[in-house]
Amino acid sequence: MHRDLAAIVGARAVLSQPDDLLLYEFDGSVDRAMPNAVALPATADEVVGLVRWARQNGVVIVPRGAGTGLSGGAVAVHGGLMMGFARMKKIVAIDLGNQRAVVQPGVVNLELTVAVASAGYYYAPDPSSQKACTLGGNVSENAGGPHTLAYGVTTNHVLGLEVVLPDGELVHLGGAVWDTPGYDLTGLFVGSEGTLGIVTEITVKLTRTSEAVKTLLAIYDRVDDGAETVAEITSRAITPSALEMMDQITLQAVEDATNAGYPRDAACVLLIELEGLQEAVESQAAQVQEVCERHGARSVRIAASEAERQKLWAGRKNAFGALGRKAPSFYVQDGVIPRTKIPETMRFIQQVSERYGLAIANVFHAGDGNLHPNILFDSRDAEQRRKVVEAGAEILRFCVSLGGSITGEHGVGMEKNELMPFLFTDVDLAVMGQIKSVFNPDGRLNPGKVFPTTKGCGEIRIPPQHPF
> Mind listing the pLDDT tens digit of every residue in the chain (468 residues)?
789 999 999 999 999 999 999 999 999 988 899 999 999 999 999 999 999 999 999 999 999 999 999 999 999 999 999 999 999 999 999 999 999 999 999 999 999 999 999 999 999 999 999 999 999 999 999 999 999 999 999 999 999 999 999 999 999 999 988 888 999 999 999 999 999 999 999 999 999 999 999 999 999 999 999 999 999 998 888 999 999 999 999 999 999 999 999 999 999 999 999 999 999 999 999 999 999 999 999 999 999 999 999 999 999 999 999 999 999 999 999 999 999 999 999 999 999 999 999 999 999 999 999 999 999 999 999 999 999 999 999 999 999 999 999 999 999 999 999 999 999 999 999 999 999 999 999 999 999 999 998 644 434 444 443 322
74 assigned to some structural domain: yes
Q: How many helices (H) and strands (E) does the chain have?
A: 16, 18
For residue 292, give the H/E element and its range.
helix 278-294
Domain containing residue 193 = 91-208
402 assigned to some structural domain: yes
Q: How many domains does the chain have?
A: 4
Per-residue pLDDT, 5? 98
162 assigned to some structural domain: yes
End position of a domain, from candidates 84, 116, 146: 84
Q: Identify the bridge partners of residue 302 per DSSP, sorted by sequence position.
A: 216
Residues 281 and 85: their CA atoms lie apart, in Å, by 40
230-237: long-range contacts, CB 8 A cutoff, minimum separation 24: 230/270, 230/339, 230/342, 230/366, 230/367, 231/339, 231/340, 231/342, 232/291, 232/294, 232/295, 233/272, 233/288, 233/291, 233/367, 234/339, 234/367, 236/287, 236/291
In this structure, the answer to whether residues 290 and 216 fall within a common structural domain is: yes
In this structure, the answer to whether residues 98 and 77 fall within a common structural domain is: no
In this structure, the answer to whether residues 135 and 120 fall within a common structural domain is: yes
> What CATH number corresponds to the domain at position 402?
3.30.70.2740
Residues 5 and 36: their CA atoms lie apart, in Å, by 12
> pLDDT tens digits, residue range 336-362?
999 999 999 999 999 999 999 999 999
End position of a domain, from candidates 322, 338, 357: 322
Per-residue pLDDT, 458? 39
> What CATH number corresponds to the domain at position 64?
3.30.43.10
The whole-model pTM stands at: 0.94
444 assigned to some structural domain: no
3-class SS at 239? coil
Closest to 299 (Cα-Cα) out of 355, 407, 221: 221
> pLDDT tens digits, residue range 317-340?
999 999 999 999 999 999 999 999
| Distance, first Cα to last Cα, the chain | 29
Residue type, 110: L
In this structure, the answer to whether residues 96 and 203 fall within a common structural domain is: yes
Residues 42 and 53: their CA atoms lie apart, in Å, by 16
Per-residue pLDDT, 234? 86
In this structure, the answer to whether residues 118 and 147 fall within a common structural domain is: yes
For the chain, how many residues are written?
A: 468
